[in-house]
Amino acid sequence: MPIARTYYFNDMRDGELAALLGKREDFFLENVDNLNDVTQRIQSLLAQAGLSSRVEITPLNGPATFADIGFPMVPIIGWLWAMVCGASRLVQPRGDVTLRATSNTSITVAFSPSTRQPAA
């Protein structure tokens, strides 16, 4: 299983992002100042290459609330929540590439197995 490499967006030169996407290997992108601009840029580069993409926003952890403490105490609510989340994943369109915002300044780029280039 290949290990995803980490790259720093603020150190990238013009064209490096396009070359990195052209390799079709999973990677992490850190030090991103504006997530919206970078995800749009990545999506446009992927569209030029004929690949579809989808963006996932990973929720950031905030302070504990009553819901955080109360919901785990009731197992049926957790079971129902898992069923709803699972059903919603079936409805969402799958993309060739998934862009996952993992924090305010980082993005994970994951290629689906069908879009990866075969090893030489």
Each residue of 9-41: pLDDT tens digit?
A: 888 887 899 999 989 889 999 988 888 899 999
The strands making up 97-103's β-sheet, listed across from edge to edge, are: 5-8, 27-30, 106-111, 97-103, 53-57
**SS3 of 101, please?**
strand
- Would the pTM count as exceeding 0.85? no
Where are any strands of DSSP class E within 13-80? Answer: 27-30, 53-57
Residue 61 banded pLDDT, cuts 50, 70, 90: low
Gap between the Cα atoms of 63 and 51, Å rounded = 38
Residue 5 binned pLDDT confidence (cut-offs 50, 70, 90) = confident
Q: Which long-range contacts (CB under 8 A, 24 or more apart) does 20-26 make?
A: 21/45, 21/46, 21/49, 21/109, 22/49, 23/117, 24/111, 24/115, 24/116, 24/117, 25/111, 25/116, 26/2, 26/108, 26/109, 26/110, 26/111
d(CA 108, CA 56): 10
